[in-house]
Structure 1
Amino acid sequence: FSVDLSIAASLEGRELVHSHTWYANLAGHFGKLLHGIPHVMTAHSLEPLRPWKAEQLGGGYALSSWAERTAIEAADAVIAVSGAMRDDILGCYPDLDPARVRVVHNGIDTSLYRPDHGTDVLERIGLDTARPYVLFVGRITRQKGVPHLLRAVRDIDPAAQVVLCAGAPDTPEIDREFRELYQELSAVRDGVHWIPQMLPRPDVIQLLTHAAVFACP
Structure 2
Amino acid sequence: MTKSVTVLDYGSGNVHSVCKALTEAGANVTLTNNASNIYESDGLVVPGVGAFGSVMEKLKAHGADRLIDKRLTASRPVLGICVGMQVMFETGLEHGLEAQGLGQWPGTVKLLDAPRLPHIGWSKVEASSGSTLFNGVEQERFYFVHSYASVAWELDIRPPFIPAHLTWSNHGERFLAAVENGPLATTQFHPEKSGPAGLKLLSNWIESI
TM-score, length-scaled by structure 1 = 0.27
Greater strand content: 2
Which of the pair has more CA radius of gyration? 1
Structure with greater contact order relative to length (CA < 8 Å, sep ≥ 6): 2
Question: TM-score when scaled to structure 2?
Answer: 0.28
